[in-house]
Chains A and B, each alone.
Chain A
Amino acid sequence: DAGVIQSPRHEVTEMGQEVTLRCKPISGHNSLFWYRQTMMRGLELLIYFNNNVPIDDSGMPEDRFSAKMPNASFSTLKIQPSEPRDSAVYFCASSSQAGAGNEQFFGPGTRLTVL
């Protein structure tokens, strides 16, 4: 398996622009997670889905952030409009409820820079 796939790997945009991050989970996994990592706040959970349904979005910082999972093999995290403080590395992870201890498999991340 190719693991969790994220695109793009790097994104540089200007303040006010819309940004869309994409994630393809491991085939057969039915839980998907979006995290954000910054130097100041470390790794934070933004939102997670079980069976394509959003379960907890309490970590989403504000209404500018939205996430969707239209099917079991694809998810997006959108920021509109983007701001410089959104600059971070965004990780997507997936897991299978059938897996021992529900370990999560992380993608390589998308490094977002908002100028």
Chain B
Amino acid sequence: DAKTTQPNSMESNEEEPVHLPCNHSTISGTDYIHWYRQLPSQGPEYVIHGLTSNVNNRMASLAIAEDRKSSTLILHRATLRDAAVYYCILRDVGRGGSADGLTFGKGTHLIIQP
């Protein structure tokens, strides 16, 4: 699987936007960009995913660079509940549509200050 690079940690203030970067310079044409997060003492949870275009959902927005070699997860108004480890993961879903496992890196530990 192609590799992703994320900062080890980031800090932000409550109710401010947060931009979490991810570099994936070796991304292939069939790699989707997925984001998961893991709240303390919980299992990971899906946040958002995209291929080429920017994506929005109720949790976050995903901005994908034009060359797809980087992406940014945007939390528009962080709350204390958003403190978690955020994982940027590439998934090739072009292989016959089978659902492969996720390859987690170390992720970004997001700290939210009240």
Contacts and interface: CB of A to CB of B under 8 A. Distances in A.
Contact of A105 (B34, B46, B87, B93): B46
Nearest to B38: A43
Interface stretch (B5-13, B17-25, B75-83, B98-106): B98-106
Interface residues of A, number: 27
Taking residues whose C-beta sits less than 8 angstroms from the other chain, chain B's interface range is: 20 to 34
Nearest to B44: A106
Contacts, number: 62
A45 B44 contact: no
B49 A103 contact: yes
B43 interface: yes
B76 to A, nearest CB: 21
Given A33-B101, A103-B46, 6 more contacts: A48-B100, A56-B100, A91-B43, A102-B99, A104-B99, A108-B42
Interface of B: 32, 34, 36, 42-46, 49, 87, 91, 93, 97-106
